[in-house]
Amino acid sequence: MKKNVLFVSPTFYQLPLTENIIKKHQYLDEVANVTVLAFSNQKIAFQESKTNFYLSKKVNSRILNYLKILLISYFQIPKLINKHNVEIVTFQDPITSFIGVYKIKKNFRNIKIVLESHGDFINTLELEKNLIFPAVYRKLFLKMASYTINKADILRAVSSSTEEQALSFDPSKRVVRFPAWVDFEIFSKVQASRSDEKDFKILFIGSVTDRKKPHLIVEAINKIKNKDIKLYVVGPTPNENYLSQLKELVHNYDLEDQVLFTGSVDRNSVMDHYADTNLMILPSVSEGLARVIFESQATACPVLVTDAPGMGDIVIDGQTGYIFESDNLESLTNKIQEIINNYNDAVYVGNNAKDFILSNYSADNFKFSFKKLFDTV
């Protein structure tokens, strides 16, 4: 018999729901009766497939969203537990779950708690620009995470690094590890048109923030001095000050013809970018296990990532991708030049990565991993 599960998350859901999200929940609906409490651009409650969605309006500030979900958790979680006879509550990170975990432990002692870790939940906000008194936030987050991890019945990590970080708070906790949802099937069908005969296209995809460090790619391109290189910066810009600084850097290096900013794009456009990209670079200093790495590999697009903890779970240097030293411009520059000079090898690495991903990860694996988790919690 399927269990009744409530997912609580600071995730933003685009409306109408994308085909990707609908497909994800169709898989989840096969193993549980699912309810979701999260964010969108409006306050709304509805059902899609068999999943019940309760979405609150998101605000622009990341800190305010953290505070908002804490407040929503206090009032909404008890109501949804009673309304949907919830047996398991899954929280997406140890920080925003603090109030929810407290309420459940106080009022619903029979309900099981699954606590997920999708990234570096302690250092992520501290790395954001314009954050006042980051050390104060860090101390607070450490206390909140310590409480929620201690009270959880089981932990779910998406990578070895997120597992290690969570267990540092309580080494006795049970942990299951499997990555976030990626629709490998649709990305694997992308018809690649990349080559090394014309422009060499580099793709950065993700939030355009200092934590993701796209400026490091701009610095590397300036050092290489190759007019055939084109960098596409694709993704939302939660920090307008950082975007302005990045564009000023491009201007100062006279790289306007080589660096293009697209902003956020839809899923079809993302796949178009993967199709003709020669190299996807993710210079982040802090990641759990970025979904864009899986997506790139599923299209056979070569990837270059930092040696940040967790990256090595799926990127083996020279076999399923390439790795450079985190926050090291010289290391990044040399690696880009090496890949350009030996692009036939990079194509082989990209194809090898695709085979690896499709052999070891799938939507069915995602579904059955959750089923096993819900059955054993």
CA nearest neighbour of 282 among 201, 212, 347: 212
Confidence (pLDDT) at 238: 80
Q: Are residues 76 and 160 in the same domain?
A: yes
Assess whether 276 and 177 both reside in one domain: no
Mean pLDDT of 254-268: 93
DSSP string across 16-59: SPPHHHHHHHHHHHTTEEEEEEEEESS-EEEEETTEEEEEEE--
241 and 158, same structural domain? no
Q: Do 120 and 235 have their domain in common? A: no
What confidence category does residue 190 fall into, taking pLDDT thresholds of 50, 70 and 90? Answer: confident
**Residue 42, pLDDT score:** 92
Q: Are residues 202 and 153 in the same domain?
A: no
Structure tokens, 133? 């008194």
Give the pLDDT score at 191: 82
The encoded tokens of residue 165 equal 């970080």
96-142 pLDDT, tens digit per residue, is 899 999 999 999 989 999 999 887 777 665 545 455 666 777 788 88
How sure is the predictor about 11, in pLDDT bands with cuts at 50, 70 and 90? confident
364's tokens: 């069915």
| % residues pLDDT > 90 (the chain) | 65
Query: Average pLDDT, stretch 247-269?
Result: 94
Q: How confident is the model at residue 192 (pLDDT cuts 50, 70, 90)?
A: confident
Q: Are residues 55 and 151 in the same domain?
A: yes
Same domain, 20 and 162: yes
How far apart, in whole angstroms, are the C-alpha atoms of residue 282 and residue 305? 5
What residue numbers bound the domain in which 256 lies? 184-360
- 38-89 residue pLDDT tens: 999 999 999 998 999 999 998 776 677 777 888 899 999 999 999 999 999 9
Q: Looking at the structure, do residues 114 and 245 belong to the same domain, yes or no?
A: no
Residues 174 and 193 in one domain: no
Q: Is-contact 36 52, C-beta < 8 A?
A: yes
pLDDT value at 277 more than 70: yes
Mean pLDDT for the stretch of residues 226-237: 94
* CATH number of the domain bearing residue 46: 3.40.50.2000
**168 and 249 share one domain:** no
Instruction: Supply the mean pLDDT for the chain.
Output: 90
**146 shares a domain with 49:** yes
- C-alpha to C-alpha distance for 78 and 67, rounded to whole angstroms: 18
Domain count, the chain: 2
Q: Is the pLDDT of residue 307 over 80?
A: yes
This prediction's pTM: 0.85
- DSSP state letter for 237: -
| The dihedral sign for the CA sequence 302, 304, 219, 286 | positive
Q: What is the pLDDT of residue 290?
A: 82
Same domain, 214 and 305: yes
Contacts of 304 (CB under 8 A, 6+ apart): 279, 280, 281, 282, 321, 322, 323, 324, 332, 335, 336, 339
